[in-house]
Structure 1
Amino acid sequence: MQTLIKDSIQAESENDLPMSESKTTDSNFYVHALMVLVIVLVATSFPIGEAITHGLPPDVMMMLRFFSAALLFAPYVFFKHGFALPPIKSLLGYSFLSIPLVTCFWTMFEALRYTSAVNTGAIYTIVPAITAVFAFLFNKEKVSVRRSIGLVLGTVGALWIVFRGDVQALLGLELNYGDLIFMFGVTCMSFYSSMIKRVYKGEPMVVMTFWVILTGGLWLLMLSASTLSSIEWTAVEPSVYAGVLYLAIFTTLATFFLIQFGTVKLGPTKVAAYGFLNPIFVLIMTAVIGTNAFEWSYVPGVLLVLLAMRFIQTDKGVKT
C-alpha cells in the first residue's frame, strides 16, 4: 500500500500544471491499481461503520474522523508546500466540494441506525450510474453505447452479488427510512465525484485533498457544536475511537486523495465504475473471516461485474 501511495504522490508532480499541459503517459495502469485499492478500503468501511455507529452521534463521529485525517495529513502538506491559505476562490471551491462529501458519509452512519449493511451495499451500487448522469450534465462527459452497456451490466452484477442471485429478494427489497437517507447520500457522492474536475485548477493534489478534508471537518463542527458538551467522552468504548481512527486514515485520508487523483487522470465515470467491485471485495473479506460462505450463485454476478469493468475501462470516450 505504501508503494502505491508513494507512486501516486510522485505522479502528483505531473498535475502541478493544468490538464492540457500535464505530461501524459501511454498507460494509466498504476492509476487503475490505485482505484482497486480504494475499493478495498471502502469495502471495509461498511462493516466497521455498522459496528461503531451507535457509539457516538453520526455528526460527532464524522467530525472526529475528518479532523483526525486533517491533523495527520497537515505535517506532510505544510512541510512540502508551505503553510499558506489557498486563494479565496480555491478555498470556496474546496468548501463547496466538501459539502456533498460530508453529507454522504454522515448519511451512511445515520442510515445504518435504521437499515442493514446489505441494504446500504445494494444502494451503493447505483453510484456509478448516477455519477455518469452528473458527469454528462456538468462535465459534458459523453456516455457512449459501450459505457452505457457497462453501467447496466455492472449494476445488475453488483446487485446479483448483494442478493446472492435471489431475484425475489431483490424485488422484495423494501426501502425504509435508513435506505432513503442513504439514497440521498450516494447521490451526493456522485455529485462530489463529478465536481472534482470542475474545482481542480492544477494545484498539487495533496493540497486540494487537505483543504477539502479540513473544510469538511469545519462543516461538521458547526453541525455538531450543540451536542458536544453533552457527550461523556470517557464512557465511549475504545473500539469506537479505534474505528474512527481507522476510518480517518484509510477511508478518509487515503481514499479522498486517491479518488481525486484518479478522477483527474481517468474521469469521474471510470473512477466511479470501480464501485461495482465493492460487493466482490466484501464477499471475499467475509469469506476469509468466516462470516459468509462462498456460494456458486455469486459467480454470474462476479462475471457480469468483470465484464462491465472491461466495457467501461476500455472505452475510449472523452474523459472530460
Structure 2
Amino acid sequence: MVMTNLTSHGLAILMTLFIAGSFLSAAELSGIIHPVALTLLRFIGAVIAFSPVILTIPKHRSAIKKVLPKSLIISLFYSVFFLCMFKSLETTTALNTTALYTLVPFITAVLCFVFFRETISGYMLNAYTMGTVGAMWVIFKGDINTIFALSLNNGDLYFLMGCFSMAGFSIAMKTLYQGESMPAMVFCTLIGGAIWMALVLIFIGQPLEIDKIRETDYFHILYLALFATLFSTLIMQKITVQLGPTKVMAYVFMTPALVILLQFVLQGQSINSPIYPGIILSVIATFYLQKVSTNKVKST
C-alpha cells in the first residue's frame, strides 16, 4: 500500500507537469483557431491515439457500453470548465483566471465535505491558505501591490463557476467509478468531451477551421492531445480513486511554479528571485496537505 501511495503521488506530480506544459502549448496556439475548436481537436486526437488500446482488448471494449453513461456525466464537468474559461476570457484577464484557479483545491474540499462528509480541519485550512498565497505569489511575481489590486468582474464569476465544475469533475470520478475498466472509462470520458465540444461548436455556428493550422502548430496540438488530455486524464482518474479528490487537487498549487520551471528549461527564461518564496510555499503547502489529509482519514 505504501508503494502504491508513493507511486500515486509521483503520478500526480507528473500529471501536474503535463498540465503546466499545456499552458505553454496553448499560448503558442492562441488566436489561431477558436478555443472550443482547439479543445475539440484535443479530445479527438486523444480518442484516436487511445482507440487501438481499447478496441483491441476485449475486456476494455466490452466495458464501453456500461461506462459510457457515467463518462458522459464526468466529461460534462470537464467541458463546462472549458466553456466557462472561454466565456470568462472575453471580459477578464488570464492573470485573474490563473489566480482564481488556485481556489480549486479548497472548493474540492468543500464539495468532499458535502458529498462524502470529509471534514475540513484547521490544519487543512492553513494548508489551503498557504498554497493559495504561494501560488498567487508566483503568478504575480512577488508584487504585493498587484495582488492587492486584483479586482473581479463578471468574467471572473464565469470562471469561478468553471472552478466549481473542475472540482465537480474530480468528485464525479470518485463517485461514479465502481471498479469498471479504468481505461474504458477514460476512453469514454474523452469521447464525451468531444461530443460536448462538437455540440457547442454546432450551437454557436463556429467552423473547425483546420485549414488555419500551420505545420509548426501540430506539435503543440499533439502535445495537448496526448500529454495534457489523454495521459493527464488517465492519471487523474486513476489517482483520484486511489488518493481521493482532496489530495489530487492539492497539486494545483504547484502548477504556476512548474510553468515557471518549464519556461526556464525549454525557453531559457530566467527565474526571478522574488518568486522563490512563492515556489517554496506552494510546494510545502501541497505536501503538507497530503499529510494532514492522511492524518484526518486515520483519525476518522
Residue number among 237, 242, 245 corresponding to 1:265 in the alignment: 242
> Do the aligned partners of 2:71 and 2:192 also contact (CA within 8 Å) in 1?
yes
Distance 2:178 2:85 in 1: 30
Aligned to 1:83, the other structure's residue is in SS state helix
Residue number among 74, 80, 83 corresponding to 2:61 in the alignment: 83
> Do the aligned partners of 2:25 and 2:220 also contact (CA within 8 Å) in 1?
yes
Partner of 2:42: 65
> Do the aligned partners of 2:13 and 2:251 also contact (CA within 8 Å) in 1?
yes
Matched, 1:181 2:158: yes
Deviations 1:226-251 (A, max 9, x none): 56784543233334444322211011
Displacement of 1:131 after TM fit? 0.9
Change (3 A) 1:118 1:229: closer
Residue number among 100, 117, 126 corresponding to 2:77 in the alignment: 100
> Do the aligned partners of 2:37 and 2:201 also contact (CA within 8 Å) in 1?
yes
Change (3 A) 1:250 1:101: same
> What RMSD, in angstroms, separates the aligned Cα atoms of the two structures?
2.5
Displacement of 1:262 after TM fit? 0.8
Partner of 1:145: 122
Displacement of 1:106 after TM fit? 3.6
Matches within 5 A, 1:112-191: 112=89, 115-176=92-153, 178-191=155-168
> Do the aligned partners of 1:131 and 1:272 also contact (CA within 8 Å) in 2?
yes
Distance 1:37 1:276 in 2: 14
> Do the aligned partners of 2:111 and 2:171 also contact (CA within 8 Å) in 1?
yes
Displacement of 1:47 after TM fit? 2.7
One-letter amino acid of the counterpart of residue 252, structure 2: G
Distance 1:179 1:237 in 2: 32
Partner of 1:298: 275
Displacement of 1:269 after TM fit? 0.6
Displacement of 1:252 after TM fit? 0.5
> Do the aligned partners of 1:47 and 1:117 also contact (CA within 8 Å) in 2?
no
Residue number among 280, 285, 290 corresponding to 2:257 in the alignment: 280
Which deviates further from its counterpart, 169-178 or 57-66?
Answer: 169-178
Residue number among 9, 13, 17 corresponding to 1:32 in the alignment: 9
Whose helix proportion is higher, 1 or 2?
A: 2
Distance 2:51 2:219 in 1: 20
Distance 1:244 1:111 in 2: 23
Q: How much identity, in percent, do the aligned residues show?
A: 33
Displacement of 1:152 after TM fit? 1.3
Return 5+ residue gaps in structure 1 as ranges.
1-23
Change (3 A) 1:216 1:180: same
One-letter amino acid of the counterpart of residue 279, structure 1: P
> Do the aligned partners of 2:17 and 2:258 also contact (CA within 8 Å) in 1?
yes
Matches within 5 A, 1:231-242: 231-242=208-219
Change (3 A) 1:30 1:232: closer
Displacement of 1:151 after TM fit? 1.1
Change (3 A) 1:300 1:232: closer
Partner of 2:297: 318
> Do the aligned partners of 1:58 and 1:106 also contact (CA within 8 Å) in 2?
no
Partner of 1:12: none
One-letter amino acid of the counterpart of residue 270, structure 2: A
One-letter amino acid of the counterpart of residue 29, structure 1: L
Distance 1:287 1:163 in 2: 17
Deviations 1:65-105 (A, max 9, x none): 112111111111222335335455x4322111110101223
Deviations 1:7-38 (A, max 9, x none): xxxxxxxxxxxxxxxxx456511111110011
Change (3 A) 1:213 1:174: same
Change (3 A) 1:162 1:230: closer
Displacement of 1:55 after TM fit? 1.7
The TM-score normalised by the length of structure 1 is: 0.83
One-letter amino acid of the counterpart of residue 37, structure 1: L
Return 5+ residue gaps in structure 2 as ranges.
none
Which deviates further from its counterpart, 300-309 or 28-37?
Answer: 300-309
Matched, 1:221 2:198: yes
Change (3 A) 1:41 1:58: same
Change (3 A) 1:71 1:264: same
Displacement of 1:159 after TM fit? 0.8
Distance 1:214 1:27 in 2: 29
Distance 1:314 1:82 in 2: 35
